Structure 1
Amino acid sequence: MTKRSFSRKGLRAKTPSELIHSDLCGPMNVKARGGYEYFISFIDDYSRYNHVYLIQSKSDSFEKFKEHKAEIENESDRPSSSTKVVDKTRNIGQTHTSQELGELRRSGRVVRQSNRYLGLSEAQIIIPNDVIEDPLTFKQAKNDVDSDQWIKAMDLKMESMYSNSVWTLVDQPNNIRPIGCKWIYKRKRDQTAKVQTFRARLVAKGYTQKEGIDYEETFSPIAMIKSIRILLSIATFYDYEIWQMDVKTAFLNGNLEESIYMVQPEGFIQKGQEQKVCKLQKSIYGLKQASRSWNIRFDTGIKSYGFEQNVDEPCVYKRIINSTVAFLVLYVDDILLIGNEVDHLTDIKEWLDTQFQMKDLGSAQYVLGIQIVQNRKNKTLAMSQTSYIDKMLSRYKMQNSKKGLLPYRYGIHLSKEQCPKTPQEVKDMSNIPYASAVGSLMYAMLCIRPDICYSVGIVSRYQPWM
């Protein structure tokens, strides 16, 4: 018996919902919450989007398809005249042919999860694969497709620098070599990978600073992820408000004790004063002491407003007045406000806005690369890193890798003997960001994926030899 060869030509849809490929998988060895043992997918042949649903039994498949079809019609505001479904059902442990599915190219993916997890009827996450790389230099930013946006972002940053009196132009002192600076560009995206803002940040080349001359101490604390999880659990249980704020140009609020000189930023050199340098009055991003200076400034200010610092977690503050409770969590320049009274939290936000340049983000939805979905009616809160994980896979060229059921594949044995030994192997391995990939996995492990802890521990053993 031989396998039937793939046909060169197949039916291709010309309109959305004309041809849908369906795949049913299960039963799983372990039931998901809610008793789900199967999942079914519907791939639209025209748009190449994949919708995945959890179901409890095979008999729910047709009802789930009717539900899916109704949703598609509602989204497109038009009924589909006729739909052809190519259905291939598979069980765990069995092979699955996909000849009828043809050549599927996914321009994106739509993942739908049960309301048991997200507290919504359904949550939709769209992740495009054609993400544009951010420019690395000032020249690249000027030649980028979004050059107008980058120029606007740099102008806003420079206005903030001038309004905060970050530096003054002075003649370069003798025997003083000013440190350099550069622009860092980043497209800020939401949980659906859609660009929200264009951020340009002026960063000092702090690696040229000398200890004892340009800086003394550099340590500054940040909130631990587990502390944020605990406070979110408390807020969910007691039905507290969870608000989010962002400090604009946070490090510019830090005061410097040392005399530091920096070259003028590229693209903004003052005409007629090209030979002068910037004497920094306040801290900026990139300086060794920048984070510490900002943390000291914020700590002093927030305590003056009546907040008490947690002894074991220095970036968590509380303010209790009779029955009114408020918690504040600081993670570098991101702030979470948690409390039981809206008026009290509003007063805190207004006070913060008078002390620093703040951006009110409303109810917390996307914090530190983690999507937060709260259902206050059912007292549930879900945390997801779908966007972060997909972005990480794309960064390390593994977006098309095969998925597995276990975080560590059976039969794989890693050892030091597999590390590069010859000069050519060492040279080839230097082009692979092994340590960076392990660090990205560790962040996901600390946030919401403790199940990969063992696997991350195994691969992290070999970083010194990579």
Structure 2
Amino acid sequence: MLVTGSSTELIKDFKLQMQMEFEMSDLGLMTYFLGMEIEQFNSGIFVSQRKYAIDVLKRFNLDQCKAVANVKLSKENGDSIVDVTSYRSLIGSLLYLTATRPDLIFTASLLFRFTNSPSNSHSMAAKRVLKYLKGTSDYSVLYLKNENAKLEGYVDSAASNQAIWLRRLLADFGKDQSEATFLWCDNKSAIAIANNPVQHGRTKHSLVKFHAIREAERNHEVKLVHCKSEQQVADILTKGLSRGRFEYLRNKLVVSKKNSQGGVLELRVFLMKVPE
């Protein structure tokens, strides 16, 4: 059982109350969970999968490979079919790594489409991802402490329902969002249509979607805000990018462990024995 809290005293009180009802042991601060390594600092929590990434490289005999700077896909269609089981295992491993490596999401999701009949080109692309992983195995997500944390989202399409769900989830945790959640969008036309109820012949198919966004804005739950295309962080999750832009957006999502400074909450692990 995982227990988290911003106060050590609160966790101690919870532990005492639970021990009165159940037989349980305090295993201390969490450092490893489901393949994820957790390091807690005064200013944040660093969550990585470095060990898992290295194990994947060893499993596919690429632990001694030369690292590459970015992932790369080819338009060429390979004719020869590769071992399906091995390919699926590789893609499954990459998908699991996306839990802490959002920079792998687009490529891993795209390669997943070919798990039924992977060709040599798909296998080569997947192995290039491993070579990229070789040079970035210590990269992962850093959750910094912020007392006034505000929910924001970068989107390519309507995401108001997801934002509302997250707002309600945070409210259940006692973190009510007093202001509307900003949804950063790089499409001025989409923002204009969402804010303007005038119907256009070319937008009939999307009226329901935009009506939902207008209602969410009217309720002060979300607010569409324009951002420049080069600042659209969501692009790294949805399309192939040039090396420079890929690295620029990647650095907004993940950090290198050696450059990190941080843990937010105290996470402890308890082993609890439930009576039969």
TM tier, smaller: 0.3 to 0.5
- Please, what TM-score do these two structures have when normalized by structure 1? 0.23
Q: Which structure has the highest helix share of the two?
A: 2
- Please, what TM-score do these two structures have when normalized by structure 2? 0.37
Q: Which structure has the highest strand share of the two?
A: 1
